[in-house]
Amino acid sequence: MKITEYVASFAEPIVKEHGCELWDVEYVREGSEYYLRLYLDKEGGVDINDCEAISRAVDPVLDEKDPIEGSYHFEVCSAGLERQLKRPSDFARFMGSAVTVKLYRPRNGLKEIPGVLRGYEDGKVTVEAGKETITFPKSEVALVRLRVEF
């Protein structure tokens, strides 16, 4: 089991007890440092108090279970308005929402295509961009992120 899956397995019930949803768990290297991050979501938005309370509740469990060898920084944060969609359930939940599709290689000179999410199947992403509907194969898509329009 991956570190992120293991951490999610014991962090999710704690997050739910605090009235939030565990959106994602990330374990990444940035420079010479490692970071374990929990991303939260909640109806009405996540605030600093939610992050602090969940950090305090999860921290001792992390110490006890010790899922990561070596040192790392532990952070708890909001998933944010322009969060990345990763799981099929994320795509289903935000169908019809404004998104930005980031591509590995430019298509018609663009690496980022704004549009409205219209479909997701087996990694293929379909968006309505202006007057055209475009389906991107999984191999072309670097990431899909919600887009906030003001």
Per-residue model confidence as pLDDT tens digits over 3-29: 999 999 999 999 999 999 999 999 999
pTM, rounded to two decimals = 0.81
Work out the mean pLDDT of the chain and round it to a whole number: 95
pLDDT band (50, 70, 90) for residue 149: confident
Q: What is the pLDDT of residues 64-94, one digit of tens each?
A: 999 999 999 999 999 999 999 999 999 999 9
Tell me if 103 sits within 8 A of 113, measured CB to CB: yes
Q: Which domains does the chain have, with CATH numbers?
A: 3-78 (3.30.300.70), 84-146 (2.30.30.100)
Tell me if 61 sits within 8 A of 42, measured CB to CB: no
Q: CB-side exposure of 146: number of CA atoms within 13 Å?
A: 17
Strand partners, 36: 27, 74
Residue 61 confidence (pLDDT)? 96
- Radius of gyration from C-alpha coordinates of the chain: 17
